Amino acid sequence: MPSLTKHKSFEYTKLLVEGDSGTGKSGSLASLAGSGYELRILDYDNGLESLKQYIIRDYPEALSRVEYRTLRDRRRASAAGPIVSPKAFVSGLKMLDHWKYTSSDGEEIDLGKPAEWGPECILVIDSLTFMSDAAYDWADPLAPRSAQGGVDKRQIFGMAQEAVENVLALLTSEAFETNVIVMSHIKYMDTPDGNTKAYPTSVGKALSPVIPRYFNTVVQCVTINGKRSFRTKATPLIDLKNPAPFKMKSTFPLGTGLADIFKVLRNPLEAEDVDEPDTDDEEATPQQATAAE
């Protein structure tokens, strides 16, 4: 029988980062590259400019440690409306199986299987929101049509949701021996009791509350009073997860936060206990979050 000292959480971190647009999610990855991790990013947002600038400023030697693939479905105009060429989702799945492609200058890139990269690499999905959009584009032409060409949109949503959930199950499985960070925008949803809760944005509404179940660590990127930071402690608005509550601070500065969080999660036995008052953090309302964009 294995002991907890052999548990793979000591080797691999599977982290969900939630935040509104403009709170600094992508740029926050710079501290991990600066700490020596190899970052391999599936870039569905086409928004890595901030990460590039932070690395150039703070960790210029780390630029070569960041590998990325930008995946966006091509759209072209037509008299009937935009026409989508749905390739991004399938291309991402191929990369998750084997990170291999031909670069724009003709170089053959082969980094092997992401599931075998090991503890010094981090696979990043940036973001789940746009990956979910790509999954919907992929599912749309596959849904059965009626004789008149009509389609039940519920079938498209169902296929896309199942595909996205299967990807999350793969990335967070024990067999996927690589650190994983999934970035997601936030969707504010009304609950049956009349309250508002914040969930990761994905296809439709049914999948969003399910997504955090796949991760042992869920943090929020917030901007309050002009200050950006990571929050690790749940609030009435958003449910977060912290597997090391006695070692993890309730907030971390955005600039070094991900590196600090990884340090605690990867070496919890060496981390010092934190002594913080048991009070709720200042809550960021949806209105505050929107103002920060």
pLDDT score for 290:
40
The pLDDT of residue 273 is above 90: no
* Least confident segment among 65-69, 151-155, 190-194, 272-276: 272-276
Buried b (16+ CB within 10 A) or exposed e, 39-56: bbbbbbbebbeebeebbe
pLDDT score for 225:
82
Tell me the C-alpha distance between 235 and 256, whole Å: 22
3-state helix, strand, coil in the chain (%, to 5): 35, 25, 40
- The CA–CA distances, whole Å, from 218 to 136, 181, 267 equal 25, 10, 18
What does the pLDDT look like over 120-129, one tens digit per residue?
Answer: 999 999 999 9
List, in order, residues 6 or more apart from 110 with CB less than 8 Å away. 98, 99, 100
The pLDDT of residue 230 is above 80: yes
Average pLDDT, the chain: 90
Q: pTM here?
A: 0.90
Architecture of domain 4-291: 3-Layer(aba) Sandwich (3.40)
* Nearest 10 degrees: Cα torsion 35, 41, 44, 47: 40
Question: What's the first-to-final CA gap in the chain, in angstroms?
Answer: 50
Domain boundaries, the chain: 4-291
